[in-house]
């Protein structure tokens, strides 16, 4: 069997189109409904998706009058979803700017234990002043500073995940020894941003580390991905841009001394699917008609750092927008939006329509075969190792993708029919990380022969 696609399901309340909640089929309260999330996750697991993913931010997302904006804390929700599933990976977003390494490393190690090795962490640095003000700051830290903090955050987290050796637990009742103290060591980290002394209070988990995912596409983001990321969620609207990003990140991974095959690139795709192309276009048009342009303009103005009144619906973007270097927020998304508008000479109204479907991700409208064709083309022409599937409407968009698109890809030998492993790392074809510490192999003085046997059996 040749190289296989990887698929992640990005769960986003009623769907990724901003007007999806207004359809008759949609439940506007789905964002806080456990049963809704369980249904989507089970559909994805039955379809053999690698993983499901929950985005998050430590602030209210946008204008709550525009679309559903409530978010359950993702690791809590994924722990609940783990109980009703057995194989699918569970990826949560968590910020390195507004958390501490000890708490977050513990949370993901706990999720990995509870799920049997299926946890993943989407590492974000969190752009925007709104989040900063929720944590006592006047505004967001500088872009470069956020990434420098993130790098040290990962350094501390891996020290904590490695603070227990795999053979530390012996549970020798006769000897009265539960764990070998010589195989547990403190993190003992003192750096620019963090001082962390002790060992983690959770043993090394089934995957050792959660799958490390990253979603930034700025220069700092790509350097961070090359050093740490094992999967990259990215927004690339055209094949050429996807190919350039793919080659760039793989090259950077090699320069960082890593195997480029251990960095999986998954662009977002928002499929709008119909039995015929005309039917798909009709669904797309129905969704676009439901967009409230005045709300969308407010959001666009926030991203572009201009007053909303400067964005005239039937004119193109102003010529004097800030450069990416002048933006301290989500640099790569800013550039993506401006480049899209300039390249295609879009009016503000047209740009709002393009962004309404997937916020700059690749939106594709067509039949199941046409969707499968574009996925295969990107996969076979150096733009993707798989896709972050972002249905425009949930659950119907996922159900159609699973029922109509995946069979086409399976017939072409491009996607699994069964899981071959049990952990998320195994789904993505990634190794389990070794331990960075050289733990002593000798046994603690005074332990009985029974302890020796138990230790050998657990190592």
DSSP string over 20-48: GGGSTT--TTGGG-HHHHHHHHHHHHHTT
Mutual angle of helices 348-358 and 277-289, in 10-degree steps: 110
pLDDT grade, residue 362 (50/70/90)? confident
Percent of the chain with pLDDT over 90: 69
Contact (CB, 8 A) for 383 and 243: yes
Could you tell me the two tokens for 345? 């000479």
Q: 132, 117, 125, 342: which is closest to 228 by C-alpha?
A: 125
Specify the DSSP class assigned to residue 324: G
How high is the pLDDT of residue 449?
A: 39
For the ranges 65-74, 130-139, 439-448, the maximum mean pLDDT occurs at: 130-139
Q: Is 317 in a helix, a strand, or coil?
A: coil
Find the mean pLDDT for residues 426-450. Answer: 72
Q: How many Cα atoms occupy the beta-carbon half-sphere of 394 within 13 Å?
A: 27
- The residues near 231 (Cβ < 8 Å, ≥ 6 apart) are 6, 8, 120, 211, 212, 213, 214, 263, 264, 265, 266, 428
pLDDT of 347 above 90: no
pLDDT grade, residue 276 (50/70/90)? very high
How high is the pLDDT of residue 110?
A: 98
pLDDT grade, residue 290 (50/70/90)? confident
Specify the DSSP class assigned to residue 208: B
Contact (CB, 8 A) for 38 and 84: yes
pLDDT of 448 above 70: no
pLDDT of 48 above 90: yes
pLDDT of 440 above 80: no
Contact (CB, 8 A) for 165 and 204: yes
How high is the pLDDT of residue 332?
A: 65
How high is the pLDDT of residue 451?
A: 33
pLDDT tens track for 201-232: 999 999 999 999 998 788 899 999 999 999 99
In sequence order, what are the beta bridge partners of 86?
Answer: none
d(CA 379, CA 259) in angstroms, rounded, equals 19
pLDDT grade, residue 456 (50/70/90)? very low
Q: Is the pTM of this model over 0.85?
A: yes
How high is the pLDDT of residue 326?
A: 62
How high is the pLDDT of residue 304?
A: 78
How high is the pLDDT of residue 53?
A: 98
pLDDT of 103 above 50: yes
d(CA 218, CA 76) in angstroms, rounded, equals 30
d(CA 432, CA 57) in angstroms, rounded, equals 29
C-alpha distances out from residue 240 to 164, 251, 314, Å: 45, 16, 28
Find the mean pLDDT for residues 113-117. Answer: 98
pLDDT tens track for 1-31: 689 999 999 999 999 998 899 999 999 999 9
pLDDT grade, residue 109 (50/70/90)? very high
Find the mean pLDDT for residues 191-207. Answer: 97
Find the mean pLDDT for residues 73-86. Answer: 97
Find the mean pLDDT for residues 395-410. Answer: 98
Find the mean pLDDT for residues 83-112. Answer: 98
pLDDT of 260 above 80: yes
Burial 359-392 (b: 16+ CB within 10 A, else e): bbbbbbbbbbebbbbbbbebbeeebbbbbbbbbb
In sequence order, what are the beta bridge partners of 271?
Answer: 364
pLDDT grade, residue 447 (50/70/90)? very low
Contact (CB, 8 A) for 364 and 371: yes
What is the chain's mean pLDDT, rounded?
89
- The DSSP line for 107-141 is HHHHHHHHHTS-EEEEEE---SHHHHHTTT-SSPP
How high is the pLDDT of residue 443?
A: 43
How high is the pLDDT of residue 106?
A: 98
d(CA 393, CA 382) in angstroms, rounded, equals 28
Find the mean pLDDT for residues 78-91. Answer: 98
Give the β-pairing of 119-124 and 89-95.
parallel
- The residues near 68 (Cβ < 8 Å, ≥ 6 apart) are 13, 14, 21, 28, 29, 30, 31
Burial (Cβ within 10 Å: 0-12, 13-18, ≥19) of residue 45: buried
Dihedral over Cα of 206, 209, 210, 211: its sign: negative
Find the mean pLDDT for residues 374-387. Answer: 98
**Least confident stretch, 8-12, 35-39, 66-70, 177-181:** 66-70
Burial (Cβ within 10 Å: 0-12, 13-18, ≥19) of residue 240: exposed
How high is the pLDDT of residue 2?
A: 81
pLDDT of 391 above 80: yes
**Least confident stretch, 15-19, 93-97, 420-424, 442-446:** 442-446
pLDDT grade, residue 356 (50/70/90)? low
Burial (Cβ within 10 Å: 0-12, 13-18, ≥19) of residue 166: middle
How high is the pLDDT of residue 150?
A: 96
**Least confident stretch, 6-10, 46-50, 66-70:** 66-70
Find the mean pLDDT for residues 369-385. Answer: 98
pLDDT of 432 above 90: yes
Domains and CATH numbers, the chain: 6-163+200-272+364-428 (3.20.20.30)
pLDDT grade, residue 358 (50/70/90)? low
């Amino acid at each position: 069997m040749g190289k296989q696609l990887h698929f992640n399901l990005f769960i986003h309340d009623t769907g990724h189109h901003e007007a999806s909640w207004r359809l008759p089929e949609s439940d506007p309260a789905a964002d806080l409904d456990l049963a809704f999330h369980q249904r989507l996750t089970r559909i994805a697991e039955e379809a053999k998706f690698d993983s499901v993913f929950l985005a998050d931010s430590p602030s209210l997302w946008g204008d709550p009058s525009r679309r559903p904006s409530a978010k359950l804390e993702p690791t809590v929700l994924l722990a609940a979803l783990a109980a009703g599933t057995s194989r699918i990976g569970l990826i949560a977003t968590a910020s390195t700017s507004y958390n501490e390494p000890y708490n977050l490393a513990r949370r993901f190690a706990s999720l990995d234990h509870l799920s049997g090795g299926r946890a993943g962490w989407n590492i974000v640095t969190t752009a925007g002043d709104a989040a900063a003000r929720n944590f006592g700051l006047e505004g967001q830290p500088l872009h470069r500073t956020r990434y420098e903090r993130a790098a040290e955050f990962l350094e501390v987290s891996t020290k904590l995940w490695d603070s227990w050796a795999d053979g530390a637990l012996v549970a020798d009742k006769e000897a009265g020894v539960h764990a070998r103290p010589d195989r547990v060591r403190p993190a003992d980290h003192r750096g620019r941003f963090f001082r962390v002394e002790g060992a983690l209070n959770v043993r090394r988990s089934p995957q050792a580390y959660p799958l490390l995912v990253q979603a930034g596409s700025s220069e700092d983001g790509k350097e961070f991905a090359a050093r740490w990321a094992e999967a990259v969620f990215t927004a690339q609207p055209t094949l050429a841009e996807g190919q350039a990003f793919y080659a760039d990140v793989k090259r950077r991974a090699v320069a960082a001394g890593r195997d480029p095959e251990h960095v999986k690139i998954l662009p977002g795709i928002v499929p709008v699917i119909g039995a015929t192309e005309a039917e798909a276009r009709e669904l797309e048009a129905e969704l676009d008609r439901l967009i409230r342009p005045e709300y969308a303009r407010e959001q666009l103005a926030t991203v572009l750092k201009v007053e909303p009144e400067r964005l005239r619906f039937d004119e193109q973007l102003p010529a004097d927008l800030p450069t990416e270097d002048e933006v301290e927020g989500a640099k790569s998304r800013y550039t993506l939006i401006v480049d899209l508008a300039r390249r295609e000479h879009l009016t503000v109204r047209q740009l709002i329509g393009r962004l309404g479907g997937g916020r700059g991700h690749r939106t594709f409208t067509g039949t199941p075969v046409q969707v499968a064709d574009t996925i295969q083309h990107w996969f076979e022409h150096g733009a993707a190792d798989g896709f972050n599937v972002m249905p425009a409407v949930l659950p119907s968009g996922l159900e159609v993708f699973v029922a109509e698109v995946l069979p086409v890809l399976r017939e072409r030998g491009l996607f699994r029919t069964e899981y071959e492993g049990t952990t998320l790392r195994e789904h993505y074809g990634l190794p389990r990380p070794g331990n960075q510490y050289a733990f002593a192999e000798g046994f603690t003085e005074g332990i009985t022969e029974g302890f020796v046997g138990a230790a050998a059996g657990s190592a």
